[in-house]
């Protein structure tokens, strides 16, 4: 799977959040304005692009931008460590989005994290693994993450919905410090606003075989980038550093878009979090 954000996407997001015009960014990069604009569009950096000064101006790590330009990808994670975890990637509105299904192997109780665009692949997995869907956790209420919520609620009316949104009905709102058990699995949440004001990261522990924690982060961080945060960039980064990248290095990061990654890989390679 390709990275969610190309080099050009990363530069454009950081430039807009930091209110830098293309001419200034081009000057730092040692490029003509047209060349720099083409870089943002295509993600292909001309030979000799000066990543150090460009990164400094855009509050990104220059060496890590250069790494993305050279084609960095997260090392594929061995998902067999977490036997009861499925990734469901669906497409709509010109993009793809990830949802995640986890379950306890003994009780067969299952929890869904975000819904993506389509209910059918989720219904199929729940049936194939003979699960009971008891919880639906929402990372944030952007449309691509909750598009299939209504049909899934219709299909699984007893599943409890959890959301960080203050606009959610009261019985769906997350309670600080609450631990939800799914057989032997434990699910807690941490507030990670910035990309979305109701952004939440779910932490799943208690895996059999002592597999590392799984972090369902929504769009707070991607492999090699992060969800756009516009004028909330300082808050977004602060929460990612304190709530996500502070976890053990082997923790699995399940982002709303793009490939899965780990805390360790993002601490080493993500240009937004040097």
Q: Which residues bind Zn ion (CB under 5 A)?
A: 142, 219
Closer Cβ to Zn ion, 131 or 174, answer by number: 174
Chain residue whose CB lies nearest Zn ion: 142
> Does residue 4 contact residue 219 with C-beta atoms inside 8 Å?
no
Least CB distance to Zn ion at residue 206 (A) = 28
Least spacing, CB of residue 129 vs Zn ion, in Å: 28
Going across the sheet that includes 95-103, the strands are: 85-92, 95-103, 109-113, 132-137, 160-162
Q: How far is Cα 243 from Cα 203, in angstroms, rounded to an integer?
A: 10
CB of 227 to Zn ion, least distance (A): 5
Q: How many helices (H) and strands (E) does the chain have?
A: 10, 11
Q: In Å, what is the CA distance from 224 to each residue of 9, 144, 146, 203, 269?
A: 11, 21, 24, 20, 7
Closer Cβ to Zn ion, 39 or 161, answer by number = 161
Answer whether 90's CB lies under 8 Å from 121's CB: yes
Structure tokens at 253: 């990061």
Q: Least distance (Å) from Zn ion to the CB of residue 239?
A: 14
Radius of gyration of the chain (CA): 19
Q: Which is nearer to Zn ion, 138 or 161 (CB)?
A: 138
- SS3 state at 91: strand
Least distance from Zn ion to the Cβ atom of residue 140, Å:
6
CB of 195 to Zn ion, least distance (A): 6
- Nearer CB in complex with Zn ion: 131/200: 200
State the maximum Cα–Cα separation within the chain, in Å, rounded to a whole number: 61
Closer CB to Zn ion, 4 or 40, in the complex:
4
Report the residue number, 12 or 57, with the smaller CB distance to Zn ion. Answer: 12
Q: If DSSP codes are grouped into helix, strand and coil, which group holds residue 163?
A: strand
């Amino acid at each position: 799977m390709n990275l969610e954000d190309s080099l050009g996407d990363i530069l454009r997001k950081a430039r807009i959040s930091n209110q830098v015009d293309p001419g200034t960014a081009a000057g730092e990069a040692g490029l003509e304005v047209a060349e720099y604009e083409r870089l943002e569009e295509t993600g292909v950096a001309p030979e000799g692009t000066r990543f150090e000064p460009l990164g400094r101006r855009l509050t990104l790590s220059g060496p890590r931008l250069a790494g993305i330009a050279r084609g960095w990808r997260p090392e594929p994670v061995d998902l067999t460590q977490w036997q009861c975890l499925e990734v469901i990637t669906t497409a709509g509105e010109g993009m793809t989005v990830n949802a995640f299904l986890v379950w306890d192997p003994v009780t067969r109780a299952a929890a869904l994290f975000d819904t993506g665009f389509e209910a059918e692949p989720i219904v199929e997995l729940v049936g194939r693994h003979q699960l009971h869907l008891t919880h639906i956790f929402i990372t944030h209420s952007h449309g691509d993450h909750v598009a299939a919520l209504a049909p899934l609620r219709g299909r699984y009316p007893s599943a409890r919905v959890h959301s960080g949104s203050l606009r959610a009905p009261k019985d769906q709102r997350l309670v600080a410090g609450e631990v939800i058990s799914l057989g032997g699995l434990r699910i807690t949440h941490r507030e990670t606003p910035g990309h979305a004001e109701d952004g939440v990261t779910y932490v799943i522990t208690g895996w059999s075989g002592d597999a590392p924690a799984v972090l369902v982060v929504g769009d707070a961080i991607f492999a090699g980038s992060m969800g756009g945060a516009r004028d909330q960039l300082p808050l977004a980064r602060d929460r990612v550093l304190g709530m996500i990248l502070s976890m053990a290095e082997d923790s699995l990061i399940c982002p709303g878009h793009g490939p899965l990654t780990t805390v360790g890989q993002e601490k080493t390679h993500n240009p937004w979090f040097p």
